[in-house]
Each structure stands twice: as C-alpha cells, then as structure tokens.
C-alpha cells in the first residue's frame, strides 16, 4: 500500500504502525495541492487525486491544532500559520486567554471505490514558552492531558499517544476488518 507524503519522518512512523498489522507500506513522494476545508475533506481529496495518478490503493493524512479560545484557529491551516507566525505568534495570541487545545489527525484510505477515514484527537494545553526541541511544529508548546511535558520534550510519549498514531491504528483496524484475507 502507498502512503502519500513528502515527509520521510511521517513515512517511517506510519510504516512502523502498518507493520504491526502486517501491512507493507511504500512511500509515494508526490506533493498534491491541498483544497481548503475540514481535515476530512482535505484527506479525501488528496487520496482521490493520488489514486488517479497511480491507480492503486493509497493512504494519506492531515493534522491540525485547534485552539478553543481562538475558535479552532489555526485548524486545517496549521502548517501555513506555523510557517508565518511560528509558536511565538501562537503564544502572543494566547496571553491572558484560555489555552485548551487539541491536535486532530484525519487518516484516509482510498482504493478507487471506497473511502475509509478515521479522525482522532490528542487533547491538551498550550504553554506560554517553547520547551523541548524534539518533534516538530507546535510540539514544543503543547502538553497533552495527563502528562507534564510537551510533545517537544517527550517525543517517545507523543509516539505512543498522538492523534496521528491513534488515527492510523484505527484505520488499519478498520481495513483489517473489511479486507479479511
């Protein structure tokens, strides 16, 4: 099965998860222009476009950080926002405000006929300084519920509880149920 991503780290991570389901994964390194919309809409569109190119089953995913007091900002535009205002911009916006947030990941499978999409979340809190240099993106300012370190400080922990990990796990479970050999 092919995972559509230009991100080598994402590929390696997902390959590990797939392995425990006895699913072999290869990387389909193409950059597909994303539409605007919810994470679900984005991954379905991406999977469809990738399928049309390679004509075989594909997997892909998209993630975002949704901050309650900012009406879900930056949401599906997380990557863009991070590139422009960075973690320091998020910290500026949140001074004196409620800092509850959640990461969301939508993982999608498409085989040319059916879509399977699983959306999972990691709830937590944004802190007002960057801590840790592991992970990427908003990891250094996000502390998951029930933990005391940011994803940027404790990447190992992130890898066991993350929204992305949970979404792919659920997706592979669904696929196993639907495609029993």
Query: Quick count: other Cβ atoms within 10 Å of Cβ 159?
Result: 15
CB of 122 to a second copy, least distance (A): 20
Site residues for a second copy, 143-162, by CB under 8 A, read: none
Give the CA angle between residues 9, 13, 17 to the nearest 5°: 165
Does the protein bind a second copy through residue 73 (CB under 8 A)? yes
Chosen residue from 12, 29, 92, 98 binding a second copy by CB under 8 A: 92
For the record, the structure tokens of 66 come out as 């949704």
Question: Per CB under 8 A, does 24 bind a second copy?
Answer: no
> Which residues are CB-neighbours of 146 under 8 A, at least 6 positions away?
none
62 is catalytic: yes
Chain centroid offset of residue 8 CA: 14
31 binds a second copy (CB under 8 A): no
Among 57, 64, 74, 140, binds a second copy (CB under 8 A): 74
How far out from the chain centre does Cα 161 lie? 12
Q: Looking at the DSSP assignment, which residues form a beta bridge with residue 101?
A: 67, 124
Q: Site for a second copy (CB under 8 A): which residue of 23, 30, 93, 127?
A: 93
From 65-73, 106-114, 134-142, 167-175, give the range in contact with a second copy by CB under 8 A: 65-73
For residue 100, state whether it binds a second copy (rule: CB under 8 A): no
**Which SS3 state, helix, strand or coil, does residue 13 take?**
helix
Q: Which residues are catalytic?
A: 62
């Amino acid at each position: 099965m092919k995972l559509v991503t230009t991100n080598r780290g994402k590929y390696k991570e997902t390959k590990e998860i797939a392995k425990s389901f006895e699913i072999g994964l290869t990387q389909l390194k193409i950059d597909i222009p994303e539409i605007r919309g919810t994470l679900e809409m984005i991954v379905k569109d991406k999977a469809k476009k990738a399928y049309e190119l390679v004509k075989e089953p594909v997997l892909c995913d998209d993630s975002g950080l949704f901050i309650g007091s900012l009406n879900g900002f930056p949401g599906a535009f997380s990557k863009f926002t991070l590139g422009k205002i960075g973690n320091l911009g998020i910290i500026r916006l949140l001074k004196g405000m409620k800092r509850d947030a959640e990461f969301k990941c939508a993982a999608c499978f498409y085989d040319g006929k059916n879509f399977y999409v699983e959306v999972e979340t990691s709830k937590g809190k944004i802190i007002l300084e960057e801590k840790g240099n592991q992970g990427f993106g908003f990891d250094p300012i996000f502390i998951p519920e029930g933990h005391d370190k940011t994803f940027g400080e404790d990447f190992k922990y992130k890898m066991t509880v993350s929204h992305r990990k949970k979404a792919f796990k659920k997706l592979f479970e669904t696929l196993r149920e639907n495609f029993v050999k």
